Amino acid sequence: GAPKPIKEGIPKDEAAAIKKKFEDVGAKVEIK
């Protein structure tokens, strides 16, 4: 499927933790 926002309107530190979790499993994550 196409990339899409997982969550919106979340705290930046939580977003960073989620981003790291996805990157740990080899996913590319972009936070805008």
- Summarize pLDDT for 1-32 with one digit per residue, the tens: 666 666 667 788 888 888 888 888 876 767 66
pLDDT for res 11? 82
The predicted structure's pLDDT at residue 18: 82
pTM above 0.85, yes or no: no
Give residue 15's pLDDT. 82
Distance CA 1, CA 3 (A): 7
Please say whether the beta carbons of 23 and 29 come within 8 A.
Answer: yes
Helix (H) or strand (E) holding 19: helix 12-24
Q: Supply the pLDDT for residue 4.
A: 63
Sole residue written with tokens 């196409």: 2
CA-angle at 11, arms to 22 and 21, nearest 5°? 15
